[in-house]
Amino acid sequence: MQKVWIYLENGIFLEANSFGATGTSVGEIVFNTSMTGYQEIISDPSYAGQFITFTMPEIGNVGVNSDDMESKSCHCKGVLVRNYHHEYSNFRAQGDLDSLLKEHNVLGICDIDTRYLTKIVRDEGAMMMIASTKIHDKDELKKLLEQSPRIEDINYIEEVTTSEPYIHKYGAWNHKEMAYNKAVMSDKKVVVIDFGVKRNILNELVESGLEVEVVPSNFKADDLIARFEASQIGGVFLSNGPGDPLTLTSEKEQVQKLINANIPMFAICLGHQMLSIAHGYDTYKLKFGQHGGNHPVANPETKVVEITAQNHNYNVPDNIVEIANITHMNLFDNTIEGVKYKNKEIFSVQHHPEASPGPHESKYIFSEFAKIVK
């Protein structure tokens, strides 16, 4: 291991040990409270541009494997962990986390007080930071950080979206077969707008009985509307993704066209926020976001509480009740977690019902979408 130096934009300067890639990287620091699933978190495209602080102190102990990747790459800037375990023990493991981070040029930072960092982010909010295995001078790191663009200034969607359309051919994980189910032919087809979609979202859409076609984020709404009117597709899904949704002006215009065409739509996370913005209700940034696998969410009508997985820094505004019915509320901070738009076959959730490795209490939402697909 070699040394790594960290500078936070609030002036805090720290030294720690490193694993994974070397070099210098700038991003936004957030914390994640999940107890398991570090590989799925690190490979989630929604973390592009961010450093992930894990509150779970032991990371790396179950290794990594190709089946648990949520995308083809790891898009986060780095991970900060209390204890990194290079030696792993798991019958599914194919390698160690250190090698995975090196392969995808992601900094690993360990032997650092993650509880201290979590409290800083909790009290002061998500902030920019810089980490380097090459530069140890505080003033130089500060200067580089001040000269770097902020996360809201960068369109990370362009980095994480697919370059070409494709058909997704797998369903949910089959524990007996220890493999993903193969997709079956369906007479219901949906198009997924890829803003940084997680593989397990696509798996659950397939598992709910849909044929799934994934298209890039620079899609043309007119093309999809023509296909819908010709009965070639029956609905559209807007995926999760990284960054500030208010910067996606061209994407907003295309989503507005889909809304006006009355196409059945379902959206998760960034897609949920995009629907709000396209309806004229701008999102706002939370103090430190919601990232983890243990967030209680309640249905105001049924009073049923689901434990959910979360990963977002932005939220839809409270006044969206003017045009939508609230279907889910976060019991940690009473923010809106799900809406169904009035007089439309359009609904969305902020949390992740596909949650892999869990919890799985919200998976039924994919079936709700399948019911309204033409």
Instruction: Please identify every residue annotated as catalytic.
Output: 269, 352, 354
**Is there a contact between 51 and 27 (Cβ–Cβ < 8 Å)?**
yes
**Is there a contact between 15 and 3 (Cβ–Cβ < 8 Å)?**
yes
Q: In the beta sheet, which residues pair with residue 322?
A: none
**Is there a contact between 74 and 43 (Cβ–Cβ < 8 Å)?**
yes
Q: Is 20 annotated as a binding residue?
A: no
Phi, psi of 338 (to 5 degrees): -165, 145
Angle (nearest 5°) at CA 364 between 44 and 45: 10
Q: Is 217 annotated as a binding residue?
A: no
Q: Report helix angle 249-260 to 270-278, nearest 10.
A: 70
Q: Report helix angle 249-260 to 221-229, nearest 10.
A: 20
Phi, psi of 207 (to 5 degrees): -65, -25
Q: Is 311 annotated as a binding residue?
A: yes
Angle (nearest 5°) at CA 52 between 278 and 97: 125
Alpha carbon distance 321, 159 (integer Å): 33
Q: What is the amino acid identity at position 248?
A: L
Q: Which of 287, 281, 291 is nearest to 352 (CA)?
A: 291
Alpha carbon distance 133, 21 (integer Å): 9
Q: Is 314 annotated as a binding residue?
A: yes
Region of residue 22 (left: phi > 0; alpha: psi -120 to 50; beta: else) = beta
Q: How far is CA 133 from CA 25, 107, 172, in A?
A: 9, 9, 40
Q: Is 156 annotated as a binding residue?
A: no
**Is there a contact between 241 and 268 (Cβ–Cβ < 8 Å)?**
no
Q: Is 292 annotated as a binding residue?
A: no
Q: Is 358 annotated as a binding residue?
A: no
Residues 6+ apart with CB under 8 A from 218: 161, 250
Which residues are known binding-site members for L-glutamine?
Answer: 46, 241, 243, 270, 273, 311, 314
Which residues are known binding-site members?
Answer: 46, 241, 243, 270, 273, 311, 314
